[in-house]
A and B are shown apart, each in its own frame.
Chain A
Amino acid sequence: NAGVTQTPKFQVLKTGQSMTLQCAQDMNHNSMYWYRQDPGMGLRLIYYSASEGTTDKGEVPNGYNVSRLNKREFSLRLESAAPSQTSVYFCASRPPTGEVSPLHFGNGTRLTVT
């Protein structure tokens, strides 16, 4: 099992360009999450998907859109990238086994917007 796989690992964009960050999990988890990690700050939730077919905004959704393509895949799209979106983006998933199940994270996409 690969767990949570994110692509690409690194990306450099110019201001105004668009891109989609891909995330796939092979653990049959229901809920999936997109976080961003910035220096000196805790991970912040961008969007999450409680189950296939549903998505909800998190703490910092502005400038992003998401698609829960199927149970395995949850993508994050930047329509018009801005320097403030320079960050490390983590996708996570969680099994539906109650309160004690942990988040399982991918290894991140490091995005630089110039």
Chain B
Amino acid sequence: KNQVEQSPQSLIILEGKNCTLQCNYTVSPFSNLRWYKQDTGRGPVSLTIMTFSENTKSNGRYTATLDADTKQSSLHITASQLSDSASYICVVRSGTYKYIFGTGTRLKVLA
């Protein structure tokens, strides 16, 4: 069964600290993996995409990694800001129109 599992479910950190969110997937076929940020009351917005051949990709303070052998991805947030408070969703694309969504990690950044 295709699955995307994320950990932790929720996380609280102090402003300025770093954190790492995890995503493990068992999806076949694998097209790519994308991290989305979902603010409360809004739709998800794409942060970064990882294709099969990519190991690391940065987007500002966000750095995503992908290990295709172990089927794991991580999203590292550096120097967190209050505006980083949101849910972060890992999504694996499998085929042209099929996307498998994780349940998300809810991040709270405290001042």
Select from chain A the residue with minimum beta-carbon distance to B43. Answer: A105
Contact of A107 with B103 at beta-carbon distance under 8 Å, contacts A99-B32, A99-B93 already known: no
Interface flags for B73-102 (1: CB within 8 Å of A; 0: not) read 000000000000000010101001111111
Kindly identify which residue among B4, B34, B41, B45 contacts A42, using a CB–CB cutoff of 8 Å.
B4
Nearest Cβ on chain A to B9's Cβ, whole angstroms: 9
Q: In the complex, A41 Cα to B104 Cα: how many Å?
A: 8
Interface flags for A31-71 (1: CB within 8 Å of B; 0: not) read 10101000011111100101000001000000000000000
- Residues of A within 8 Å of B, CB-based: how many? 23
Asked if B43 and A108 make an inter-chain contact with CB atoms under 8 angstroms apart, the answer reads: yes
A-B contact count (CB 8 A): 51
Asked if A102 and B103 make an inter-chain contact with CB atoms under 8 angstroms apart, the answer reads: no
Name the interface size band of chain B: 20 to 34
Output the residue of A31, A33, A90, A105 with the most chain B CB within 10 A: A105
Q: In the complex, A102 Cα to B44 Cα: how many Å?
A: 11
Interface flags for A92-114 (1: CB within 8 Å of B; 0: not) read 10000001101101111000000
Q: In the complex, A92 Cα to B89 Cα: how many Å?
A: 15
The yes or no answer to A4 lying at the interface (CB within 8 A) is yes
Asked if A100 and B44 make an inter-chain contact with CB atoms under 8 angstroms apart, the answer reads: no
Asked if B99 and A40 make an inter-chain contact with CB atoms under 8 angstroms apart, the answer reads: no
Interface flags for B41-59 (1: CB within 8 Å of A; 0: not) read 1111110010100000000
- B residues with a Cβ closer than 8 A to A are 4, 31-32, 34, 41-46, 49, 51, 89, 91, 93, 96-104
- A residues with a Cβ closer than 8 A to B are 4, 31, 33, 35, 40-45, 48, 50, 56, 90, 92, 99-100, 102-103, 105-108
7 shortest A-B CB distances, which residue pairs?
A105-B43, A42-B101, A102-B46, A43-B101, A107-B43, A42-B103, A107-B42
